[in-house]
Amino acid sequence: MHNLTITQLREKLLKKELSASEITHYYLERIDREDKKINSYITVSSEKALESANRFDNNFEEEKNKKLGGIPLAIKDVFSTKDILTTCASHILDEYRPVYESTVTRKLLEQGAIFLGKTNLDQFCHGSSTVTSYYGPTRNPHNVERLPGGSSGGSAAATAADFCAGSLGTETAGSLRQPASWCGVVGLKPTYGRVSRYGVLAMGSSLDSPGPLTKSVEDSALILSVIAGHDSKDFSSYDAPTLDYFSAIDSSKIKGMNICIPKEYLDMDIQEGVLENFNRSVEILKKLGANIEYVNVLNPQYAMSVYTITCRSEVSSNLARYDGTRYGLEGKDKSTVKTYYESTRGEGFGQEPKRRVMTGTYSLSAGYADEYFKKSEQVRQLIKEDLENILKKYDCIVSPTTPTTALKDEEADNPLFGEMSDILAEGSSEAGLPGISIPNGKVENLPTGIQFIGKTLDELTILNAAKALEESLN
């Protein structure tokens, strides 16, 4: 059962070679035995998971045709899950159990998924390392002395360590693809608005995109088929047709595909081994029949500057709701709640959220909004137009996912570490474009990643390209 993909597990379930209870027990035992050194989970819902598995097994004929029937998944602790502790890795949400289900998790449950628990993250998604969590840092399963990336580091690590069949995360500007690259798994960031944000505790409202972290491209396509679609509860979701991406994926489409490589992305300070693995992957794509050309794009440092201003401005607005009066400690007497929040409002937010709130508040304040936020949004529009113009001529863009392999803690001791590690993904996120990162080798036993960036709502093309390369790299 070790390291089987979702599609492989589904095949064994349907052939009755394995039961959902056996699979769920397998993951829960691995979590209990090995997650102490990785710390990928904040909450493990053992009882609920086993109940769901038994229900699948006892109603096999009714449940077997659900796309994710009997499959145990991990959920980033930023999705509202009914009656399950939801913390955003912050003490400000101690004891908060939502009374409703996010659209994404509801869709997964309706298709038979089993939730193993909620995974660790940078507090309120503020970071790219998963060390700012109040529940302790997550470690990289390939080397526990290294970072897993973030903010979806817990989900990526849980998938890489085989503590789940797959997981859900979110990306604001690299926070799916970067941890996927560092942990050696597949990370799919859909088009902004392709997947509903309803019930996702917001970081940057104009950027946040839920997506899967899996062991194969096929698995990501399968989960996307379940979670994509218009949602009347999310005004930013696209009212556009979706596909059964899992059935539609076709790696033979790589032949004749026009792919471009941004020269400016390769001008970044990219680690030698990361660049070597990327160049080798490009040669494979050429042999598979893809046409590869180099193009010029706006300097990625503009995207980093935009993210620094725009995201922090939205953060300052979104975190204002956590005012110490509305979340957690339901049923407690008023004096307990008052004492708790008087101490927690200041202490509940860690250093990184406070830093981002202060920066964002400053950039939105009277006299500075035009100078900073408005100008940032204007540059963001230029980045969007630049990438969209390039994608009128090409099917997709390809580049390394991140400039380096997983770093050590001390190498990430910089207030702008996240922006620097996500620099190759930020522009496409700001433009709302879909992107997917897949593993393409190792450097000193640490994974490297390659990403494909596609046109708005054209997830299928990047899935086809990623699948073709994945098959050849296997």
Domain layout of the chain by residue ranges = 6-300+385-473, 301-383
Output the pLDDT for position 209: 97
Output the pLDDT for position 367: 67
Output the pLDDT for position 366: 64
How far is residue 465's CA from residue 458's CA, in Å, rounded to a whole number?
12
How far is residue 262's CA from residue 3's CA, in Å, rounded to a whole number?
34
Residue 204: other Cβ atoms inside 10 A: 22
Output the pLDDT for position 256: 98
Q: Which CATH number fits domain 6-300+385-473: 1.10.10.60, 3.40.630.30, 3.30.390.50, 3.90.1300.10?
A: 3.90.1300.10
Strand pairing report for 41-44 and 114-119: antiparallel
Output the pLDDT for position 91: 85
How far is residue 179's CA from residue 175's CA, in Å, rounded to a whole number?
6
Structure pTM?
0.93
Q: Extract the tokens encoding 45.
A: 């819902």
Active site residues: 76, 151, 175
Residue with tokens 């064994």: 12
Q: Are 469 and 281 a contacting pair, CB within 8 Å?
A: yes
Q: Extract the tokens encoding 75.
A: 């959920």
Residue with tokens 């680690």: 271
pLDDT along the chain (474 residues), means of 10: 96 98 98 98 98 98 97 98 95 90 98 98 91 95 97 98 98 96 98 98 91 98 98 96 97 98 96 98 98 97 90 78 60 51 56 70 70 89 98 98 95 72 94 98 98 98 98 93
Output the pLDDT for position 220: 98
152 cis-preceded (ω within 30 degrees of 0): no
Q: Are 282 and 261 a contacting pair, CB within 8 Å?
A: yes
Opening angle at CA 184, ends 469 and 394, nearest 5: 35
Output the pLDDT for position 243: 95
Output the pLDDT for position 73: 98
Strands, sheet with 258-262, edge to edge from the N-terminal-most edge strand: 41-44, 114-119, 72-76, 166-171, 209-214, 186-189, 435-443, 446-453, 396-400, 258-262, 291-295
